[in-house]
């Protein structure tokens, strides 16, 4: 098992993420319950979309306290690859692994559409040359409105940490931000769902290069060793 997909009560995209990584990309992946330890052989982690703990309090605010999150933080701090999708993005922000917050869409509606996106030249893996200048990926969220203070936004823009921007902003996100990464380039978060755009019967297959860019480093590096419990 190379890719761990964390499963919270209320996750609803965990099976989709496992299928996209394991069956479509051909990289061993497994769902891991939120009360478990992160397996020592893990080389990348996906925090999937859904409604963890019913989105009580705030989206991701309860999931950040799940037992597995201490392992996830240690994994990320040691350079492990982490991708948060939709609710997973919200959880990573709540846990402090990514800056900013996701709040209620400014339209006050749940948006479920195939969304045009602009790709930013963020790093050597996530750029227009590899992914193309634009993508179309599904979104499905009521709290996808990205917010951050001016200092955080300045850092994101200056350091090239913005991954994706909305074309025709569907939720009011500042600077049209749809996805970001941390300064180290190993923790990613995005509201669009690449795992829902990987097969011929999907509206597009634009999720394939996104997921391939995320898992690329695990073909080159060893597993991150976690401290014993």
Residues known to be catalytic: 86, 193, 195
Q: Which residues, in sequence order, are CB contacts of 54 under 8 Å at separation 6+?
A: 9, 10
Separation CA 193–CA 205 (nearest Å): 11
Which residues in 176-195 are b (16+ Cβ under 10 Å) and which e? bbbbbbbeebbbbbbbbbbb
Residue with tokens 């941390």: 182
Instruction: Sort 215 into a burial class: Cβ within 10 Å, 0-12 / 13-18 / 19+.
Output: buried
Question: Any idea what the Cα angle at residue 41 is, between residues 36 and 43, rounded to 5°?
Answer: 100
């Amino acid at each position: 098992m190379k890719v761990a997909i964390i499963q919270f009560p209320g996750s609803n995209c965990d099976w989709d993420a496992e299928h996209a990584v394991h069956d479509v990309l051909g990289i061993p992946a497994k769902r891991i319950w939120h009360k478990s330890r992160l397996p020592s052989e893990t080389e990348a982690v996906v925090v999937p979309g859904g409604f963890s703990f019913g989105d009580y309090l705030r989206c991701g605010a309860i999931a950040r306290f799940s037992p597995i999150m201490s392992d996830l933080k240690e994994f990320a701090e040691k350079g492990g690859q982490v991708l948060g999708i939709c609710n997973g993005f919200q959880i990573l922000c709540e846990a402090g692994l990514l800056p900013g917050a996701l709040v209620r869409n400014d339209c006050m509606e749940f948006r479920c559409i195939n969304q045009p996106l602009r790709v930013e030249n963020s790093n050597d893996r996530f750029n227009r040359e590899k992914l193309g200048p634009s993508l179309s990926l599904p979104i499905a969220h009521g709290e996808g409105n990205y917010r951050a203070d001016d200092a955080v936004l300045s850092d994101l823009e200056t350091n090239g940490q913005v991954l994706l921007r909305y074309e025709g902003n569907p939720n009011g996100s500042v600077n049209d931000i749809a996805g970001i990464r941390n300064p180290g380039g190993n923790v990613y978060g995005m509201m669009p769902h690449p795992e829902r755009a990987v097969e011929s019967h999907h509206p597009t297959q634009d999720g394939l290069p996104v997921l391939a860019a995320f898992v690329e480093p695990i073909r080159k590096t060893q597993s991150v060793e976690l401290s014993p419990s």
